[in-house]
A and B are shown apart, each in its own frame.
Chain A
Amino acid sequence: MVTVDKLEEMRLEPEVPELDLSWLNLDTEWGVSAEPGRKGLTLQQINKSLYGDIPATSEDSSARPRGAAAPEGATPRMTPWVLGDATETFSDSAALLYDEAVSRQWSSATDIPWDTLDELPEDIERAMAQLCTSLTEVEFIAGDVPGKWLPRIAADHFESGLFLMSQVMDEARHTDVFRKRALANGGGLLLQGGGGGLRQILEAEDFTQMSSMLHILGEGFVQSLFRLGELIAHNEAEKRIFRLAAQDESRHVAYGVTHLKYTLENDPDKAEEVHWTLDMFEDTLVDPDQANPGLAGALVYLLGDGDVDEGWRLFWHVRRKQVLEYLHRLDVAGLGGRLETGRLHPALSGALDEN
Chain B
Amino acid sequence: MPDSDVVAAAKKRLEESGLPSDWLDAPVHWGVKAKEQATPENGGLRFEYLNVDVYGEVPEVWQNNTEIPRGAIPDTRTEQMGYSIFNKAEVWSDLCAGLYEDAIADRWNSSADIPWDTLEPIGSDLERAVCQIATLMSEYGWTKAQTTGRWLQEISYGYIEVKLFLGTVVFDGARLYEVWRKRALANGGGLGRGGRNWKFLPLTQSYTFSEFCVASIMHDSMLLALLRHGEQLAQTEAERSIYELCQKDIERHLAYFVDHMRYLMLKEPVRREEIHRYMNKAEWYLAKDGDDTLYSALAVVMGDGREGAEEAMVDVAELRREQVETYLGYLRQCHLGDREDRLNEELRKWAGIAPEEEVEKIPV
Contacts and interface: CB of A to CB of B under 8 A. Distances in A.
| A, B in one complex | yes
B170 A16 contact: no
Contacts of B84: none
Contacts of B335: none
Given A17-B295, A184-B34, A176 B175 contact: no
A180 B14 contact: no
Contact of A24 (B21, B31, B300, B364): B300
Contacts of A99: 111
A62 B351 CA distance: 29
B205 to A, nearest CB: 9
A63 B200 contact: yes
Contacts of A65: 135, 138-139, 142, 177, 181, 191, 194
B182 A34 contact: yes
B62 interface: no
A109 B150 contact: no
B132 A179 contact: no
B153 interface: yes
B30 interface: yes
22 contacts: A15-B352, A17-B296, A17-B299, A19-B313, A23-B132, A28-B192, A33-B187, A34-B186, A64-B139, A69-B192, A78-B197, A102-B175, A130-B23, A137-B68, A137-B72, A144-B153, A165-B149, A184-B45, A185-B33, A189-B29, A190-B73, A192-B69
A20 B192 CA distance: 14
Given A184-B34, A202-B81, A191 B23 contact: yes
A188 interface: yes
Contacts of A14: 317-318, 320-321, 349-352
Given A33-B185, A75-B197, A179-B160, 8 more contacts: A2-B341, A12-B353, A40-B112, A40-B116, A42-B111, A63-B197, A65-B177, A103-B112
Contacts of A79: 204
Given A68-B192, A166-B171, A185 B35 contact: yes
**Across chains A and B, which 7 residue pairs bring their CB atoms closest together, nearest first?**
A194-B78, A172-B167, A147-B152, A64-B194, A40-B111, A294-B23, A150-B149
B23 to A, nearest CB: 4
A191 B72 contact: yes
Q: Is the interface of B mostly helix, strand, loop or mixed?
A: helix
A126 B24 contact: yes
A178 to B, nearest CB: 9
Contacts of B157: 140
A342 interface: no
Interface in A60-83: 62-65, 67-76, 78-79
A332 interface: no
Contacts of B142: 63, 65, 155, 158, 161
B219 interface: no
A162 B178 contact: yes
Contacts of A74: 196
Contacts, number: 447
Contacts of B317: 13-17
Contacts of B200: 63, 78
Nearest to B107: A105
A296 B67 contact: no
A143 B115 CA distance: 32
**Interface core residue of B81, B187, B341, B359 (most chain A CB under 10 Å):** B81
B61 interface: no
Interface string A295-335: 01110110000101100100000000000000000000000
Nearest to B316: A17
B72 A192 contact: yes
A355 to B, nearest CB: 17
B110 A102 contact: yes
B171 A168 contact: yes
Contacts of B320: 14, 17
Nearest to A25: B128
A92 interface: no
Contacts of A297: 14, 19-21, 23
B198 to A, nearest CB: 6
Contacts of B110: 41, 102
A68 B173 contact: no
A146 B171 CA distance: 12
A175 B358 CA distance: 54
A51 B190 contact: yes
B77 A165 contact: no
Interface stretch (A111-119, A222-230, A344-352): A111-119
A54 interface: no
A179 to B, nearest CB: 6
Contacts of B107: 105, 107
B236 to A, nearest CB: 13
B81 A141 contact: yes
Contacts of B138: 63, 65
A214 interface: no
Interface string B282-323: 000000001011011101100000100110011011101100
B160 A175 contact: yes
**Interface core residue of A137, A165, A182 (most chain B CB under 10 Å):** A165
Contacts of B40: 110
B135 A192 contact: no
Interface string A105-139: 10111101011010001110011011001001100
A165 B193 contact: no
